[in-house]
C-alpha cells in the first residue's frame, strides 16, 4: 500500500514504533503520571507490563520529574488548557519540556500539536504525524 492512512490503526502503531525505536536513545525521561497512564493503557497485557517494569529497572526509562516542586506550574497548565482537555500526565510532560531545551515528547496524543512552551514555541514530538 502506498497510502499509509489506509492501514489499520494497529499497523500504524507498529510502523510508528519501528520508526522511532532506533532514533530514541536511553534514558527516556518521564514522570510518574506517564508511567501510571502507560500501565493503565497496557491493561492486562502482562508481557508488555513486564517489559515496562524491566525498562524502568534497567534505566532505559527514568523518572526525573519532581511534582512537589513543579505542582503550581502543572496546575496552571491544566487551567490554561482546560478546554482541550489536558490530562495530568500531559501537563507534567509539558512542564518537563520547559526545563529541557532539546526535549522531544514521544506521543500518540494529538493534543501535543496544540500545547506550547511558555515562550509559545511548538513542543517537538516523536509522533505518528511527524
**Which stretches within 22-83 are classed as H helix?**
32-42, 46-57, 67-80
pLDDT in tens, 43-80: 888 888 898 999 899 998 999 999 999 999 999 999 99
pLDDT of residue 29: 94
For cell 511548538, what's the residue? 122
Q: What mean pLDDT, rounded, does the chain reach?
A: 87
pLDDT of residue 3: 54
38: exposed, middle or buried (C-beta count within 10 Å: 0-12, 13-18, 19+)? middle
pLDDT in tens, 21-38: 677 788 999 999 999 998
For the chain, what percent of residues have pLDDT higher than 90? 54
Amino acid at each position: 500500500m502506498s497510502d499509509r492512512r489506509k492501514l489499520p490503526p494497529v499497523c500504524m502503531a507498529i510502523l510508528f514504533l519501528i520508526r522511532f525505536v532506533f532514533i530514541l536513545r536511553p534514558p527516556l525521561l518521564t514522570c510518574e503520571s506517564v508511567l501510571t497512564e502507560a500501565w493503565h493503557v497496557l491493561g492486562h497485557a502482562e508481557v508488555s507490563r513486564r517489559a515496562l517494569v524491566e525498562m524502568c529497572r534497567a534505566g532505559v526509562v527514568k523518572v526525573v520529574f519532581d511534582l512537589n516542586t513543579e505542582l503550581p506550574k502543572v496546575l496552571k497548565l491544566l487551567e490554561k488548557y482546560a478546554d482541550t482537555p489536558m490530562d495530568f500526565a500531559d501537563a507534567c510532560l509539558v512542564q518537563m519540556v520547559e526545563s529541557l531545551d532539546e526535549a522531544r515528547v514521544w506521543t500518540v496524543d494529538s493534543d501535543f500539536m496544540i500545547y506550547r512552551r511558555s515562550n509559545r514555541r511548538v513542543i517537538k514530538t516523536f509522533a505518528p504525524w511527524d
